[in-house]
Amino acid sequence: MKHNIDLLLTNAIVLTMDENYTKFEPGGLAIDGDSILAVAPDKELINDYQANETIDCQGKVLMPGLVNAHTHVSMTLLRGLADDLRLDVWLLGYMMPVERRFVSPDFVRLGALLGCAEMIRSGVTCFADMYYFEEQVAKATAEVGMRALCAQTVLKFPAPDADAFEESLGAAREFIQRWKGHPLIEPAIGPHAPYTCTEEILRATVELALEFDVPIHTHLAETALEVENSRQEHDMPVIPYAKKQNLFDAKVLAAHCVHIDDGEIHTLLHHGAGVAHNPSSNLKLASGTAPVKKMLDTGLNVGIGTDGPASNNDLDLFEEMRLAAFLAKNATGDPTSLPAPIALAMATRLGAQALHFGHLIGSLEPGKRADLILVNINNWHNIPHYRRDENSIYAQLVYAAKSTDVTDVMVNGQWLMRDHRLLTLEEQGLAEQAHDYARRIDAFLIEREQSVLSKLLAIGGATEGESFEVQVKARIPDPKLVLTALEKPEIEILYSRHYHEYDSYFIFDGSEQGSLRYREDEYIDEDGNISNIRYRLTLIGQQRERHYPNDVLLSRSRYLAPAVHSLRFYREYFKPTHEIFVEKDRLRWRVLYKGTEFYINLDRLDQPNLGYFVEVKSRTWSRRDAEHKAEVSTDLILFLGATPEDIIVEEYPALVPPTS
Amino acid sequence: MKHNIDLLLTNAIVLTMDENYTKFEPGGLAIDGDSILAVAPDKELINDYQANETIDCQGKVLMPGLVNAHTHVSMTLLRGLADDLRLDVWLLGYMMPVERRFVSPDFVRLGALLGCAEMIRSGVTCFADMYYFEEQVAKATAEVGMRALCAQTVLKFPAPDADAFEESLGAAREFIQRWKGHPLIEPAIGPHAPYTCTEEILRATVELALEFDVPIHTHLAETALEVENSRQEHDMPVIPYAKKQNLFDAKVLAAHCVHIDDGEIHTLLHHGAGVAHNPSSNLKLASGTAPVKKMLDTGLNVGIGTDGPASNNDLDLFEEMRLAAFLAKNATGDPTSLPAPIALAMATRLGAQALHFGHLIGSLEPGKRADLILVNINNWHNIPHYRRDENSIYAQLVYAAKSTDVTDVMVNGQWLMRDHRLLTLEEQGLAEQAHDYARRIDAFLIEREQSVLSKLLAIGGATEGESFEVQVKARIPDPKLVLTALEKPEIEILYSRHYHEYDSYFIFDGSEQGSLRYREDEYIDEDGNISNIRYRLTLIGQQRERHYPNDVLLSRSRYLAPAVHSLRFYREYFKPTHEIFVEKDRLRWRVLYKGTEFYINLDRLDQPNLGYFVEVKSRTWSRRDAEHKAEVSTDLILFLGATPEDIIVEEYPALVPPTS
């Protein structure tokens, strides 16, 4: 007596990807509703089942759908926005400013639809996501019929969907309550990373995850810098720190884990955490090479992710499988490392287990959901076929097959693609909407990049504000002239300081841009020791408001900000036409002279070696005040020992001789 | 007055890939005959030219065809034959035995046609090849209409197409004479590598290359082992050694260059040598990471190659471009290294220059040949489009585009593919012929792998031959018993030896296989020093011919061979079910006893610690002689102090306790 079922797939090379790597050829699947009833050789299936529909797979490979273990699918809309940049410039200079401005529910939905279309086409049936407005990702994915772990991002900074983390946390709770139990979507919470969260946030997300028994999806140990900072701030690397915040009490999916040691691998194993390895992203951002072979040998569930398409730049898991195998060989110096069957297991069974979906998907086994793909292995790049080695078929899929060889995709018993045709997604209009976003974002960035000031403001690098300053400067043959003058009764010294200053000036084409000065200021105490260091960024307007007699200048628009990033960051972000470096020793006094407050700088230029200069400066608020101070400044600088002929108008960079 | 020409391509995003990375959008090309007349914005073209045919490129990218700078195209037929193996096992255990048996003119032609089909589909218009029967590659390529540098292989070993190198050299001369001046094929000579050639061969190939002004295509510094061996044998690394043989007097295309230092890079630059970087192959075989950024910064022409599809496993230059960019970022720890425009230049202009074809192809410039492709950048994985950054279009091609996005291919003014359809290649039948080769090669290897002996013979590891040996062995409580007996007048000692032996036994499932012993034999001289070390491989038949009274054994079929490869090689090649290790100290005497010659071994088993054994052995050639010697052996072993109860039949591995 035959069982009556919905669907029979026959005449395939079936790779079950179960723990024994069972294969059937020719073989197939018996599917009823959303689930697999049987996987077996054709003869057995035909003998046991009567199906409403029988599909001849024509010798294609029938295997579990691929699991993309880590992505930010809506960033598909930011693909190609900025490439070949360092992580900080890319993230802080481009991604975050654009996200702050453009990421909306509409953006997230459109990006998710585009990403789902791309993933279905390349054989992905399930993905682990983390983004803002994650509700929209869940909705779009469920509509399209794909499976996903959807994590609502929580972090300590204001986000496109929340001004404070309490808001994201509340949104996450509601999101989880709405979606928990959905047949395709597993809601989750996504504390972005230990370094972008506080201990309070981490602990709160763990509590929420435990309350609803949902996974935590997070980034751990992506870069060496992250680990170094964790050691400095917390006296321990990233995994122990996360453990200390109880993170691993929840079901964790940890993306990257590039910089972790043996002990940390065992911590992850002990707590059943899954890992998402992201080969392309780690290579493209030069984050390093994750110890994947060691993680696998230890028994960790390591899946493969594409990461977001803004750092990849696509969602192609065939590429990632191949790269995972290649990288492990390169890293261990052993070409037998991470052979093809393991790479394919990472993209299927191990990935599903890393998402804590191992009971549902990841292999073709009775009782699991019918998430599967058909792959044509008869294209030009994939012939001939060798079959002597039982692993040849896996090598064929990992080393030669392309995502475009995937012809058919089913999720939860529903076809999403037949013969390259998407069935559940209205493609029309999506591309045009995406191009429209790109045009608007391009315009936003182009406008921003027209001036150094707006680029500076875009990274939160300055508060806009104006100040007027009267300034006069002179070469001085001997510093003792100034020191002697300062002892005279005409001058009252309010306070004095000693600095050693390293100034990098970024010079831009087009004088209207002004120049940007990155200053490292060493405070020298009375014993001659460095007591503090301050980093400051100053945008110096090239235009002078007025030029008073005796070369007294009125300058305007100096935007000051603490320099929170490195010189290297600013260099790569602002891309100056050229750079000028000045090192000087500065004695600085605040004085009263003729009833007016002035700053006096006595500078010794060490690099280049240009001798001594004296500067007299005074802040001012009105033109009249400025005219008055201009006059007194001139008196003062002459009083300090300068002669009228010594007065110069140039800023220091203009005095530096050009280098070859 | 408009010029009359053959073809106008318009409405494209034209990436000329010239030295200034000139772009036109919308723009196109004016083509007459085999050459480019003009590359310009549409308006200009339409104004200046009257074409017999005008093709609207519909906003696709129009760029130079890709140059695959290193491959062995006919190895397409060996794709997937053996994967996830070390270079030596892969090469010596699989590739070379199969090549010796199957590579013929027919094989080379078929492989070349298949490979050309795959390359055209993925946008490659020109490739640099090196193989046997290169005449066939040249013929097939010219028929298909692709461009190639075809190098006839020369090496010191017998090759599929030559028993000795003089033969290959003669064939190369004739090949060059026949093809020199062909519009599509540049003949060349391919000394395989310094370590597979002699100095005489290298110098002879240089002379030939200079005589006909053709390039030399070779492998240089692919692995660290190659460099180490070069240092040991020649006291210098690979590039200086090649230079010493005058190699760089010719126009050289050097594949790999993974392990070269700054000085060697400058040597290559000084002599105008081109380099072919092979990212996938180097990763898959774990050869290391070539210093590509340094080579490029120094000014070398570095192209990108796929290497043969047996080690890649495909001919996809889009994959290789992306990998080249990724690897350089990873190797330097700097994601700004090798940005997308440079990666694309490597696959076009720089590759052409590496092949010494820079005057002909590599960029879209007036006067160059019309070798070009159209790429559709509107597929799902490649939207949206950002254009703020002038490099975005390159990033789109390198990081997101796929080879399957190539829609049209032209070489030398002739279309080879229009809208994904191959025009110059009769695809019918090729696949079936390829599958037929694969089936035959599979059968050959399956037969070979049925026995350890045939696998041993396949790698030239043994000469087949039989020997019969009578053997009796006994535990002995005290070695002094034997030493004392040897001093008695009944025994005449012919000579004595002292060894320390490290034996690794490979054990296989199925007792009929016998076991394979890898022995490291240290000769200990009279002063107790190691005077020599010998490595031997012995196939020990498990079957005993006869078992005489008193546990005297007659054994047969011990195939002996010097072990020229490492233990690790044999382990990976033979894949034993398990391994047993025995370390022993052996005193060995050749003696006369009762008029018969015997070998006596007094063994102290150190690992595992099993105490002392004495063995009496004698070679024999007839059953009668064996019966006689069996009797005398028993006498002798008892004479040496053993008791009948101490006699055992097991080989040492059988005495080793199993480990967990």
Which pLDDT tens digit goes with each residue over B81-136?
Answer: 999 998 888 888 889 889 999 999 999 999 999 999 999 999 999 999 999 999 99
Tokens 């005495």 map to which residue? Answer: B655
Per-residue burial over B523-547, b = 16 or more CB atoms within 10 Å of its CB, e = otherwise: ebeeeeeeeeeebebbbebeeeeee
Which pLDDT score, from 0 to 100, does residue B86 have? 84
Which residues of A, range 567-626, sit inside 8 Å of B by Cβ?
572
Chain B interface test: which of A278, A326, A440, A444 (most B C-beta within 10 Å): A326
A-chain CB neighbours of B432 within 8 Å are none
Domain boundaries, chain A: 3-59, 65-366+424-443, 453-655
Residue among B327, B335, B438 whose CB faces A87 most closely: B335
Hey, are the CB atoms on A400 and B314 less than 8 Å from each other? yes
Which pLDDT score, from 0 to 100, does residue B464 have? 46
Q: Is A284 on the interface with B (CB under 8 A)?
A: yes
Q: CB pairs below 8 Å between A and B: how many?
A: 215
Mean pLDDT, chain A, rounded, equals: 92
Q: Is A445 on the interface with B (CB under 8 A)?
A: yes
Hey, are the CB atoms on B335 and A285 less than 8 Å from each other? yes
C-alpha distance from B31 to closest chain A C-alpha (Å): 30
- In sequence order, what E strands does B421-563 have? 421-422, 468-476, 491-507, 515-524, 530-540, 544-548, 552-555, 558-562
C-alpha angle with apex A368: A367 to A369, nearest 5 degrees?
125
Q: Is B314 on the interface with A (CB under 8 A)?
A: yes
Would you state the structure tokens that stand for residue A99, as one six-digit string?
């996200």
C-alpha distance from B307 to closest chain A C-alpha (Å): 14
A-chain CB neighbours of B83 within 8 Å are 339-340, 389, 391-392, 395, 399
Mean pLDDT, chain B, rounded, equals: 92
Which pLDDT score, from 0 to 100, does residue B515 have? 84
Chain B interface test: which of A292, A383, A390, A441 (most B C-beta within 10 Å): A383
Which pLDDT score, from 0 to 100, does residue B6 have? 97
Q: Is A82 on the interface with B (CB under 8 A)?
A: yes
Give the model confidence (pLDDT) of B304-326 as tens digits.
999 999 989 999 999 999 999 99
Q: What is the mean pLDDT of residues B588-610?
A: 93
Q: Is B286 on the interface with A (CB under 8 A)?
A: yes
A-chain CB neighbours of B118 within 8 Å are 380-381
Least confident among A184-198, A501-515, B336-350:
A501-515
Which pLDDT score, from 0 to 100, does residue B624 have? 76
C-alpha distance from B137 to closest chain A C-alpha (Å): 18
Is the pLDDT score of B551 beyond 80? no
Which pLDDT score, from 0 to 100, does residue B454 have? 77
Is the pLDDT score of A197 beyond 90? yes
Q: What is the mean pLDDT of residues A38-63?
A: 97
Which residues of A, range 446-475, sit inside 8 Å of B by Cβ?
446, 449
Residue B65 DSSP code: P
Q: What is the mean pLDDT of residues A582-590?
A: 95
Residue B400 DSSP code: I
Q: Does domain B65-366+424-443 have CATH number 3.40.50.300?
A: no
Distances (CA, A) of A601 to A311, A598, A652: 47, 10, 13
Beta-carbon count within 10 A of A466 CB: 9
Least confident among A352-361, A446-455, B473-482:
A446-455
Is the pLDDT score of A660 beyond 50? no
- Please name the residue of chain B whose CA is at the shortest distance from the CA of residue A110: B384
Which pLDDT score, from 0 to 100, does residue A21 have? 98
Same fold, A65-366+424-443 and A453-655: no
CATH superfamily, region B453-655: Hypothetical Protein Pfu-838710-001 (2.40.320.10)
Give the model confidence (pLDDT) of A243-275 as tens digits.
999 999 999 999 999 999 999 999 999 999 999
Least confident among A194-203, A373-382, A445-454, B124-133:
A445-454
Q: What is the mean pLDDT of residues B410-434?
A: 95
Q: What is the mean pLDDT of residues A507-536?
A: 86
Is the pLDDT score of A555 beyond 70? no
Which pLDDT score, from 0 to 100, does residue B345 have? 98
Beta-carbon count within 10 A of B354 CB: 32
Least confident among A218-222, A295-299, B164-168:
B164-168
Residue A535 DSSP code: E
Q: What is the mean pLDDT of residues A114-132?
A: 98
Sign of dihedral through CA atoms A509, A512, A517, A518? negative
Is the pLDDT score of B545 beyond 60? no
Q: Is B388 on the interface with A (CB under 8 A)?
A: yes
B-chain CB neighbours of A80 within 8 Å are 384-386, 392, 395-396, 399-400
C-alpha distance from A591 to closest chain B C-alpha (Å): 48
B-chain CB neighbours of A289 within 8 Å are 330
A-chain CB neighbours of B79 within 8 Å are 382-384, 400
Which pLDDT score, from 0 to 100, does residue B659 have? 62
Q: Which CATH class is domain B3-59?
A: mainly beta
C-alpha distance from A271 to closest chain B C-alpha (Å): 27
B-chain CB neighbours of A438 within 8 Å are 384-386
Record the pTM.
Answer: 0.86
Is the pLDDT score of A468 beyond 90? no
Would you state the structure tokens that stand for residue A587, as one six-digit string?
């004695």
Cα(A123)–Cα(A406) distance, rounded to whole angstroms?
Answer: 6
Which residues of B, range 94-153, sit inside 8 Å of A by Cβ?
114, 117-118, 121-122
Tokens 């009823």 map to which residue? Answer: A32
Q: What is the mean pLDDT of residues A300-323?
A: 96
Q: Is A558 on the interface with B (CB under 8 A)?
A: no
Q: Is B307 on the interface with A (CB under 8 A)?
A: no
Give the model confidence (pLDDT) of B123-134 as tens digits.
999 999 999 999
Per-residue confidence at B426, pLDDT binned at 50, 70, 90? confident
CB A381 within 8 A of CB A71: no
A-chain CB neighbours of B312 within 8 Å are 399
C-alpha distance from B550 to closest chain A C-alpha (Å): 45
Would you state the structure tokens that stand for residue A461, as one six-digit string?
């690098």
Per-residue confidence at B70, pLDDT binned at 50, 70, 90? very high
Per-residue confidence at B544, pLDDT binned at 50, 70, 90? low
Per-residue confidence at A542, pLDDT binned at 50, 70, 90? low
Give the model confidence (pLDDT) of A325-369 as tens digits.
999 999 999 999 999 999 999 999 999 999 999 999 999 999 999
Q: At what angle do helices A105-121 and A134-144 cross, to 10 degrees?
A: 40
CB B226 within 8 A of CB B238: yes
DSSP string, B196-262: GS-HHHHHHHHHHHHHHT--EEEEES-SHHHHHHHHHHHSS-HHHHHHHTTGGGS-EEEEE--S--H
Hey, are the CB atoms on A335 and B84 less than 8 Å from each other? yes
Hey, are the CB atoms on A446 and B388 less than 8 Å from each other? yes
Which pLDDT score, from 0 to 100, does residue A354 have? 98
Hey, are the CB atoms on B286 and A313 less than 8 Å from each other? no
Which pLDDT score, from 0 to 100, does residue B660 have? 47
Per-residue confidence at A610, pLDDT binned at 50, 70, 90? very high
- % of chain A at pLDDT higher than 90: 77
Q: Is A353 on the interface with B (CB under 8 A)?
A: no
Q: Is A86 on the interface with B (CB under 8 A)?
A: yes
